Structure 1
Amino acid sequence: MFLKKYFEAFEIGELRKTFGRTITETDIVLHAGQSGDFFPHHMDEEWCKTQPFKKRIAHGTLIFTVAIGLTAQVINEVSMTYGYERLRFTRPVFIGDTITARVSIKAKGDHKKPAYGLVTELVEVFNQHNELVMVCEHLLLVEKEVK
């Protein structure tokens, strides 16, 4: 779905939630191949049995990628990603866990280009037990409505 949501239309506290996505072994193997991160934490089941979590964990960068993909349900033609800040992985994600994201508008501000504003989205990612597994701020560069 496409829309045009200008800077002025964003409301602090506005909230949206995503559907779920189950993380699979295939996700982890493909991500390892694409990223080059073959650390045993992700790839070696037997080694992981000797570690605190006792099983393989998904790459943080995989969870970030999937979670941000979940938030991309609507294409805003007058907005683009400006960056991400304050990224934290607060709990491990395991094979078979299902993650969902909750996005809320945290802040709005000016940009050096007067035709644009900055919108900060708080992205919180939860597992199927409603435990926070990742959090970050997504910065959007959004056109202001011409009047």
Structure 2
Amino acid sequence: MAYSYEPHSFEEFEVGQVFESPGRTMTETDVVMYASISSDWNELHANEQFARERDFGERIVHGPMTFVQAIGMLMRIGVLERTAYAFLGMNAMDLPNPVFIGDTISLEVEVAEKRVLESRDDVGLVVFDTTVTTQDETVVFQGDMKFFVVKRSES
């Protein structure tokens, strides 16, 4: 499967289209950098001894970091390169399972909705149903990401 796609204007997206990202292995450095930037040094992420004694038996990646990786992977595949006007949020986001340091995650997005906006003629709304899985197909993130996407210029 090809993982690099051409940028898509609003008109080029179709409900039901599916795009996939390449995988990315989550590292110790990723966790430390995220903790540093976010100031989230929760011991489940930063203290090996503490984490060993908890449910997961080892340190886990921050849940919000999993979300941030999902956004990054969507951008990496290229369909929103220079066409994403604004990330508008999500109606739902679930983190049903943890990501462990050393897990390789990848993203699949499906165009769930595409809507012309009466109030805007420069952008349209595109909603992506988004799923991130680990190397063994464990779902670690699901949600609906909403974007304003630039329309083709009619010059």
TM-score for both structures, normalised by structure 1: 0.89
Any idea what the Cα deviations from partners look like across 1:22-58, whole Å, max 9, x if unmatched?
A: 0111111111111000011101111112211111110
Deviation at 1:82, TM superposition (A): 2.7
Q: Does 1:59 align with 2:65?
A: no
| Deviation beyond 4 Å, 4+ runs, structure 1 | 1-4
Unaligned ranges ≥5, structure 2 = none
Unaligned runs of 5+ in 1: none
Bigger proportion of residues as strand = 1
Aligned to 2:149: 142
Q: 1:78 to 1:93 in 2, by over 3 A?
A: closer
**Alignment correspondent of 1:49:** 52
The 1:110–1:33 alpha-carbon spacing in structure 2 relative to 1, beyond 3 Å, is: same
Change (3 A) 1:8 1:20: same
Shift in Å, 1:81? 3.0
Residues of 1 paired with 2:94 and 2:121: CA distance? 31
| Structure 2 counterpart of 1:79, one-letter code | A
Return the alpha-carbon distance in structure 1 between the equivalents of residues 85 and 109 of structure 2.
16
Report the CA distance between 1:83 and its aligned residue.
Answer: 2.1
Tell me how far 1:3 sits from its aligned partner.
Answer: 5.5
CA distance in 2, matches of 1:38, 1:76: 33
Q: Is the 8 A contact 2:124 2:149 kept in 1?
A: yes
Q: Which of 85, 94, 107 pairs up with 1:101?
A: 107
Partner of 2:17: 14
- In structure 1, what is the equivalent of residue 32 of structure 2? 29
Contact persistence 1:81–1:138 (CA under 8 A) = no
User: Which amino acid in structure 2 is aligned with residue 70 of structure 1?
Assistant: M
> What's the Cα RMSD here?
2.0
Residue of structure 1 equivalent to 2:130: 123
Aligned residues: 147
TM-score of the superposed pair, with normalisation by structure 2: 0.85
Aligned to 2:56, the other structure's residue is in SS state coil
